[in-house]
Amino acid sequence: MTDPSNYVRQREKGARDVSYPISPEPLAVPVYDNHAHLEIEDGPSSGSEPGGMSLDEHLLRASEVGVLGVVQAGGDIDSSRWSAWAAASHPRVLAAVAIHPNEAPAYAAQGMLDEAIAVIDDLATQPRVRAIGETGLDFFRTEGDGLPAQFESFEAHIALAKKHDLAMQIHDRDAHDAVLETLERVGAPERTVFHCFSGDEEMARIAADRGYWLSFAGNVTFKNAQNLRDALRVTPRERILVETDAPFLTPTPFRGRPNAPYLIPVTVRFMAEELGADLDEFCAQLAANTLTVYGAFED
């Protein structure tokens, strides 16, 4: 999850077009968006012009281009509750619930981290909550006194994923070695996903060898992201997932504008071309991988 204030600053400066892009050509073989934040209805600009999209509108536009469903991810108590509600209300939405690593120190400072994790524990019992996430470590935005709370929260979330037999979506920013070490020391859940994978080729090999899934977002298309393309190429096809992290990380050529599940085909086509893969076969593999990790969307 990225800092929403970046979009607000861009809008105030009038530096970029922040409207939703046009819809891409539909995929012939449908896929899923493995991670999005659709509670942010108008991108991170929070209701300013241009108009945003409701959850129903997001799902409609996604279905029109061959995106069958979305894993809606929480990052605090409120967004996790919203994610669980969205999944219970829409057959094409599944939920991930968690306290984001950058939120954990704030809850801890208020003496509420245990209480917050207890809320996640309760939400995890709902049948359409299929993942604990996003959880993990972030050494970019949190440092010093905030780090012990991140580690405490991460390990507690790992325990919840195991307790409820759920997948786990990891947020890892500038913390690759610590995340991998923690998973080895504590023991990773059976279905562990690196959301918005941000490592390099070496880390991709390690993660895949350990049976983790790597989920690639729109930043794999960025010119300065050769490390992600290198990682993609060495990841076994059965370990690859795709996501938007909407409304963030919009793929080229729409970088800087709000992202949404209907833009998944842009990233998928880029990934298939990068791998020299047949597009339809690649889409079928991505869809199968998603169902392996999270289970069926429509019961």
Which residues are bridge partners to 41 per DSSP? 43
pLDDT tens digits along 52-83: 789 999 999 999 999 999 999 999 999 999 99
Distance CA 124, CA 79 (A): 14
SS3 state at 156: helix
Cis peptide bond prior to 189, omega within 30° of 0: no
What mean pLDDT is reported for the chain? Answer: 92
Q: Is the pLDDT of residue 226 over 50?
A: yes
User: For residues 95 and 86, is the Cβ–Cβ distance under 8 A?
Assistant: yes
Q: How far apart are CA 70 and CA 136, in angstroms?
A: 21
| Angle, CA of 26, 32 and 36, to the nearest 5° | 110
Tell me how far apart the alpha carbons of residues 26 and 263 are, in angstroms, rounded to a whole number. 10
Read off the pLDDT band of 145 (50, 70, 90): confident
Give the residues across from 69 on adjacent strands.
32
Which residues in 195-277 belong to E strands, given as ranges?
Answer: 213-216, 240-242
User: 4-51 pLDDT, tens per residue?
Assistant: 444 343 444 445 678 999 999 999 999 999 999 999 864 443 333 345
Structural domain spans, the chain: 5-13+32-294
Distance CA 170, CA 154 (A): 9
CA angle, 152 then 217 then 213, to 5°: 60
pLDDT tens per residue across span 107-117? 999 999 999 99
Report residue 27 CA to chain centroid gap: 21
Superfamily of domain 5-13+32-294: Metal-dependent hydrolases (3.20.20.140)
Tokens coding 219: 């930043």
Q: What is the 3-state secondary structure (H, E, C) of 60-86?
A: HHHHHCCEEEEEEECCCHHHHHHHHHH
pTM: 0.91
Select from 216, 283, 200, 203 the least CA-distant residue to 249: 216
**Of 235, 222, 223, nearest to 275 (Cα)?**
235
Are 75 and 35 in contact, with CB atoms under 8 Å apart? no
